[in-house]
């Protein structure tokens, strides 16, 4: 995880190939918010955090809730990601071409 991200202190654009600080694929609110809050509470003011979450109806309030805590959303991008399949039956029956929509959010921590 990044304590001073990006190094120059300026927010950079979101890169799809870069690993997020918190990957919430497969997690829906309210647990997605709980995990996000735990991470944000561990950070210092001015730190940047990169979060990836699925675009589901349950996760719609996630960004609004983060902003409600007083943190600043620097950027938001919708991307297609390969689903994480943990069930062997689903893996055998799934198409490897399937993608799911996710949102990648860069947040500046405020205390």
- Over residues 30-74, the pLDDT tens digits come to 999 999 999 999 999 999 999 999 999 999 999 999 999 999 999
What pLDDT is stored for residue 111 in this prediction?
Answer: 83
Provide the pLDDT confidence category of residue 93 given band limits of 50, 70 and 90.
Answer: low
Angle 21-16-12 from CA coordinates, rounded to 5°: 70
Q: How far apart are CA 43 and CA 57, in angstroms?
A: 28
Provide the pLDDT confidence category of residue 84 given band limits of 50, 70 and 90.
Answer: low
What pLDDT is stored for residue 1 in this prediction?
Answer: 42
What pLDDT is stored for residue 52 in this prediction?
Answer: 96
């Amino acid at each position: 995880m990044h304590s001073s991200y990006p190094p120059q202190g300026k927010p950079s654009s979101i890169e799809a190939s870069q690993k997020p600080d918190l990957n919430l694929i497969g997690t829906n609110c309210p647990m997605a918010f709980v995990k996000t809050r735990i991470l944000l509470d561990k950070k210092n003011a001015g730190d940047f955090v990169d979060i990836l979450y699925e675009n589901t109806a349950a996760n719609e309030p996630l960004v609004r809730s983060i902003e409600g805590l007083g943190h600043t959303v620097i950027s938001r991008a919708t991307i297609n990601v390969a689903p994480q399949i943990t069930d062997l039956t689903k893996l055998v029956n799934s198409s490897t071409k399937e993608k799911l929509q996710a949102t990648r959010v860069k947040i500046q921590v405020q205390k």
